[in-house]
Chains A and B, each alone.
Chain A
Amino acid sequence: MRRWFVNRRLSLGASGLAVAGLVLAACGTGGTSTTVKEGGTMTYALDADAQTMNPFEVSDVPSQRAYQFIFPNLYQFDKNLAVTPDLADGMPQISADKKTWTVKIRKGAKWSDGTAITATDVATTAWIQASSSLDTDAGFDWSPLTDPVKGVTVKDENTVVYTLTDVFAPFLAVNLTGFIAPAAVYGKIDPTKMRTDPSNDHPTVTGGPFNFDKRITGQEIDLVANPSYYNGKPHIAKVVLKVITDTTAAAQAVINGDVNWNPEITAAAVSKVKAAQGVTSYTYPDLGYYDIRFNDRPSHLFGDVNVRRAFAYALDKDSIVKAATDGNGTPLNGDIVPAMIYYDANAVVKYKQDIPKAKSLMDTAGWTVGSDGIREKGGKKFSAKFYVRAGKAQREKAVQIMSEELRKNLGMDLQPTPTDFKVFYKPIQAGDYDLAFAGFGINPDPDDYLIFHSSQIRPENNKSGENWTGYVNPDLDAAILASRKETNLEARKKLVNKIEKILGDNVVVYFMWADNLSMGFNKVQGVVPGKGDALNYIDKNLNNSEFAKFSLT
């Protein structure tokens, strides 16, 4: 089970089979150096200390970046974001009715304590994730199974069988591409106490390319090469994950060579890093996006579709995105991002800035301009808090621009409210908000069930749902369910486009942009970018077997 998050993890679906079938073998050019140096220490920049190294508890990016080195994945993504086996031996066997998935585990793989990695470990990992008593902030969605326990069975030491209630096209990409943890360790921890288990700081048994060595809280996490790694011993002997919270300092560090790998270079420093001698950098579209989540419930300010459309017509999205991201963002009109094969810039509804139209839509909705320039209706002012995460410069900038534009052009009084991450989602999850700037990480294959299907509306229909908008539309629900069952890529693309059109027509949310991220390497070889320099696959635990191929120069 894979988790995705930018500031909030969300599991969106993906038709892994379809991806695997479609992606062309790109001609790789890098990583074929004849002299591969063995040994050495690779320093990696973490922008915050890992909260935990227990993968069942990880809900933040730094922790995810830390544990990605040490736990194996069942399946993984290759450089073109196609699903390929890692710990699994070949692709899964799928029954004719597409409801039974059989996965073989490779023989000979071992944990760091020398015991074999077996089907029991794979099944136990799923059982823990699916357990309703698991105390975690991480989002694991095993709802496609008939039963969290009976739905995953160990057929023999190297075979696991998954039984699904219904056809679920993204099952491979969403559920089978995540980490596998040793049953002998994590199976013994009471799920209700998982959050506070002492081993969370120092994992004892691991099986990825590197093993845990030691940790200095707040400063660094030290890893050593796993000599018995099933994909072959890594060239690099040691990895030091150094906590550098200052993003400018982290950018400078990769320029100086103090850090060998900086996975996320701050936008302001990108041009300096690109120009630096000895640094190899890649810029590529991120698997994530930002949008404005409206509270679409009828009793709220944005409950009227005319108001939401007015919002969309009043803004010049391209210019706002350009200003907020310094040109490092691709404006979006849907939740399919350029990194995905489903991306189709022409299939979405676009709102070109048209202020007179926006004004007339507000008039239609019954909101008239008051004496202070702010619109009002029945004595109520059009006034709301515009939530945004504090300390996120690009988002704050976008929110500042938008609230000022909307005040001037449309008479909406939206007060930018920078809010600390710890409490940011409280009003939103309670349905007690009007609009918020949100960020999402996504799976390469789309599944809008969790965030847009009406059964997931929180708090009304699902207490831990991820659909905060409160938007109800039977057509949308039907299209989402149909897309989950469709395994044919072209047919699925059509359904995805239909969902995008419904979302766009009704401005269920106001899509903003997808980041273009930059990674920098200094004295590291063996890094193979995908199409358009994409390195998504070697970040955030999408594919850690690649790390074994890296070496230092």
Chain B
Amino acid sequence: MAEKETPVPRSLLGGDTYTKAVAAEQELRMAHADEDLVTTEIPEGAELGFWKLAGLRFLRHRVATVSLAVLATIAVLAIFVPILQGNLYRDQDYRNGYGQPFLFHARQLTLPAGIAVTVPWTDHLLGTDDLGRDELARLIRGGRVSLEVGLLAMLGYLIIGGSLGAIAGYYRGFLDNLLMRFTDMIIAMPFILVVVAVTAALGGVTLQTLILVIAFTGWYEIGRLMRAQFLFLRESEFVQAARALGASDFRIIFRHILPNSLTPIIVSATLGVSGIILLEAALGFLGYSIPYPEPSWGNMLQGFEDKLLRDQNYLVVFPSLALVTTALCINLVGDGIRDALDPRQR
């Protein structure tokens, strides 16, 4: 069959040199793959060696390591602190809104030994918002929403985009064409309008619908990347060898192609999480994220002009800082992972 070969979009693979490097790596593994089939057993050490090496390379990347530590701290805070704080994030003191941040007052504390000490104390470290709710508690709880949306929507991207991309790339032909046109359709969809329409149809947004809408409309990048990987790898010699030896499609896809196509997907997925977090913030800012009283960094920024006009700048600064820090850390970690998985560094 004279089938037109779809060229691999090089840019998606991180440039020519990167492609070559990946190919070199794959050649190396191809040798292993052949051995596998002969010896019927995959030498575990070889796989571990790659990931272990990558891990070591990541840890050598200081900026990425620090970013990961910051992210981990944010994640741990976001997961556990709200459990301890209970309803603090929604407890109002609406008659006395806009409590200023970093206001300390002296407080007498009695230590166990009966010694009285005076310490600087604050009830609301980062102040309170317009309804008198603790800003710090809301920031931390908002982080939980942001991370949840980021990670779960990315999982959706991987499941939808990954499987559609893999099918398109592996089977090519009509199926590929069909799926790619479907992808074009998804790309062409005005995302914000879809969100508004879904919100209108369902009479409000919930966390689940938000995650689903983001996942269903944003998977195309992962999908195309996956397809490119599959198109590229299915023609490689180790796959052809496997096919010649009678391996089933299932085995070829999951045993041979998928593990070899993961590197760029992992990098893209990591970087994508920060994109989703910012997207959620944008939606929240427009009033299309989860409904109050549940905070998210996006909906905490809603009406920011009002806050600036009232000179309550801290209510804009804190959520923005949280967003920027998180997105930056994720991107730096993503960079670190890319460097770690890039064989050029070996």
Listed in ascending order, the chain A residues whose CB lies under 8 Å from chain B are 246-248, 251, 266, 268-269, 272, 319-320, 322-323, 385, 390-391, 393, 396-397, 400-401, 403-405, 415-420, 422-423, 427
What residues on A are CB-neighbors of B90 within 8 Å?
A: 404
With CB as the reference atom, state the residue of chain A lying closest to B92: A404
What residues on B are CB-neighbors of A251 within 8 Å?
A: 309
What residues on B are CB-neighbors of A400 within 8 Å?
A: 92, 131, 292-293
Q: Are A385 and B204 touching (Cβ within 8 A)?
A: yes
The number of residue pairs between A and B whose CB atoms lie closer than 8 Å in the complex comes to 69
| 6 pairs of residues in contact across A and B, judged by CB atoms under 8 Å | A393-B303, A404-B91, A417-B291, A419-B200, A419-B203, A419-B204
Listed in ascending order, the chain B residues whose CB lies under 8 Å from chain A are 90-92, 94-95, 97, 130-131, 196, 199-200, 203-204, 287-288, 291-293, 303, 305-306, 308-310
What residues on A are CB-neighbors of B292 within 8 Å?
A: 396, 400, 416, 418
Task: A435 to B192: give the CA distance in the assembly, Å.
Answer: 28
Q: Are A417 and B287 touching (Cβ within 8 A)?
A: no
Q: Which one of B131, B200, B306 lies within 8 Å of A420 (CB-CB)? A: B200
Task: A385 to B203: give the CA distance in the assembly, Å.
Answer: 10
Q: Are B204 and A418 touching (Cβ within 8 A)?
A: yes
With CB as the reference atom, state the residue of chain A lying closest to B93: A323
With CB as the reference atom, state the residue of chain A lying closest to B304: A248
Q: Are A393 and B306 touching (Cβ within 8 A)?
A: yes
What residues on A are CB-neighbors of B199 within 8 Å?
A: 420
**Shortest distance between the CB of A106 and any CB in chain B (Å):** 46
Q: Are A417 and B203 touching (Cβ within 8 A)?
A: yes
Given A323-B95, A393-B303, verify A404-B203 contact (CB < 8 Å): no
**Shortest distance between the CB of B315 and any CB in chain A (Å):** 13
With CB as the reference atom, state the residue of chain B lying closest to A423: B200
Given A246-B305, A400-B131, verify A391-B287 contact (CB < 8 Å): yes
What residues on A are CB-neighbors of B95 within 8 Å?
A: 319, 322-323
What residues on B are CB-neighbors of A266 within 8 Å?
A: 306, 309
**Shortest distance between the CB of B268 and any CB in chain A (Å):** 34
With CB as the reference atom, state the residue of chain B lying closest to A324: B94
Q: Which one of A248, A391, A405, A415 lies within 8 Å of B305 (CB-CB)? A: A248
Q: Are A268 and B291 touching (Cβ within 8 A)?
A: no
Task: A247 to B306: give the CA distance in the assembly, Å.
Answer: 10
Given A391-B287, A400-B293, A417-B291, verify A268-B200 contact (CB < 8 Å): no
Q: Are B203 and A397 touching (Cβ within 8 A)?
A: no
What residues on A are CB-neighbors of B97 within 8 Å?
A: 323
What residues on A are CB-neighbors of B308 within 8 Å?
A: 248
Task: A266 to B288: give the CA distance in the assembly, Å.
Answer: 22
Task: A251 to B292: give the CA distance in the assembly, Å.
Answer: 28
**Shortest distance between the CB of A256 and any CB in chain B (Å):** 15
Q: Are A268 and B306 touching (Cβ within 8 A)?
A: yes
Task: A103 to B131: give the CA distance in the assembly, Å.
Answer: 54
